[in-house]
Structure 1
Amino acid sequence: MVKKIITFTESKMNDCIELFINHLSTLRTERASPSILNSIYVDYLGNKVKLCKLSNIVVENFNTLKINLFDVSIKKNVEKAIANSDLNINPISVGNTLKIILPNLTEERRKNYVKLARNMAEQGRISIRNIRRDSNEKIKRILKDKLISNDVERNLQSKIQNLTDKYIKKINHILDKKDKDLMKI
C-alpha cells in the first residue's frame, strides 16, 4: 500500500513533466519545428482531426515547414485551419503540398513566448503540488484507519515532499533551457 502511493505519486508527477514539455514544444524558437502545428485541427469528414494525423510534416530548412497531405482533397480545409489559427502564419500552396515559411521572431514576440512559457511552468508546478496534496491526504486517511504508524506517515510525507522538490526542479530546469532558446538570436 505504501509503495503504491509513492509509485503512483511519482508516475503522476512524471506525467506533469511530459505534459509541460509537450506544451512548451508548441512555442516556436528560431528553428522551424513540426510540433508548432500540434494545436491545428482540420475539419475532415465532419470531424476535427489533428493536422499531424492527416499529413506528414517535415522541416525543409531552418524556417520552412513542408506539409505533405495524405488526402489532397482536404487541402483547402488545411489552409483554412492554419490561417485561422493563432500562429499568425499563412500556408503557401505548392502543387500537392503546403509550405509554411515562419517569419523571424521579433524581440517583443520572444518576450511574449517567454511569458507564456513561465505561465506553463507555473501551471506545471501547481499540478505537482496538487498531486502532493492528494498523496498526503491518502496517507492521512491510512493513518486514520490505523494501517500505518505516525513514524511511517512522517516518513512517507517526507518522501512525497522530496519527490515534489525533485519535479519542481525539473520544471525549472526545462523552463530555463526554453527561456535561453527563445531569447537566442
Structure 2
Amino acid sequence: MSGEYEDLKRRMDGAIAAFKHDLASLRTGRASSNLLDAVQVQAYGTAMPINQVANVSVPEPRMISVSVWDKSMVSAVDRAIREANLGFNPIVDGTTLRIPLPELNEQRRKELVKISHGYAENARVAVRHVRRDGMDFLKKAEKDGTISEDDQRKRSDQVQKLTDEMISTIDHLLSDKEAEIMQV
C-alpha cells in the first residue's frame, strides 16, 4: 500500500508543480522571462514555443528582451507576442524585440487575481481527483479482502490528510501570488 500512497503523493505534487508553473506565467509588477512561456510562434509551418526561436532575457526590471535567432522570424515573433493577449507592445530593433512592461492598472490586477483563482481551483480539482482514485482503490482493496476495514479506514484518513496538506499548499501559494499581484 505504501507504493500506492507514494504514487498518490507524486501525482498530487505534479498538480502543485503545474499550478506553480501557471502562477509563474502570470505577470506581476516586474519582468520575468516566464511571462512569455505560453507564447506560441508560427515558425517553419508549425507552432513552436518562443524559447525555441529566440533567446528571452530580462535586462532591466521593467523590460523583456527577445533576441530572435532567424532574421526572417522577427515579424512572426512580434505577431505572436501581440496576439498572446498579454498586453505587451514589442518594439522591434533589428533582430531584437524590446518589450517594456507598463505599470499594471487596478482593473488588470483584479483580472490577474481572478485568473490566479481559476488556476488554483483547477489545481484543487486535480488533487481531489487523485484523492478520489486513492479512496476508490482502498474501497476495492477492502472489498477484495486485501486489507481489513480498520486498515481501509486508517489509510483513508492518511489520504485525506495528504489531500488537506496539498489544498493548504495551493491556498498558501495563491495568497502569496495575490499579494504579489496587488502590490503597487
1:172 lines up with 2:167 in the alignment: no
Correspondence 1:14-53 to 2 at 5 A: 14-53=13-52
Mapped partners of 1:140, 1:106: distance in 2: 51
Contact 2:63-2:99 within 8 A present in 1 as well: yes
Mapped partners of 1:72, 1:83: distance in 2: 18
Match of 2:6 in 1: 7
Mapped partners of 1:83, 1:8: distance in 2: 41
- SS class of match (2:111): helix
Mapped partners of 1:90, 1:105: distance in 2: 14
Question: How many Å apart are 1:120 and its aligned residue?
Answer: 1.1
Match of 1:62 in 2: 61
Tell me the amino acid that sits aligned with residue 77 of structure 2. V
Mapped partners of 1:127, 1:180: distance in 2: 24
**Structure 1 segments unaligned to the other structure (5+ residues):** none
Contact 2:69-2:95 within 8 A present in 1 as well: no
Match of 1:135 in 2: 134
- SS class of match (1:98): strand
Mapped partners of 2:47, 2:5: distance in 1: 38
Mapped partners of 1:30, 1:156: distance in 2: 44
Aligned residues: 184
TM-score, structure 2 normalization: 0.97
Structure 1 runs (4+) deviating above 6 angstroms are: none
Match of 2:143 in 1: 144
Mapped partners of 2:83, 2:113: distance in 1: 23
Tell me the amino acid that sits aligned with residue 134 of structure 2. S
Mapped partners of 1:112, 1:93: distance in 2: 28
Mapped partners of 1:28, 1:18: distance in 2: 18
Correspondence 1:96-111 to 2 at 5 A: 96-111=95-110
- SS class of match (1:89): coil
- How big is each residue's C-alpha offset from its partner over 1:37-77, in whole Å with a ceiling of 9 and x where there is no partner? 11110111111000012221111111110011222221111
**Structure 2 segments unaligned to the other structure (5+ residues):** none
Tell me the amino acid that sits aligned with residue 132 of structure 1. R
Mapped partners of 2:105, 2:87: distance in 1: 13
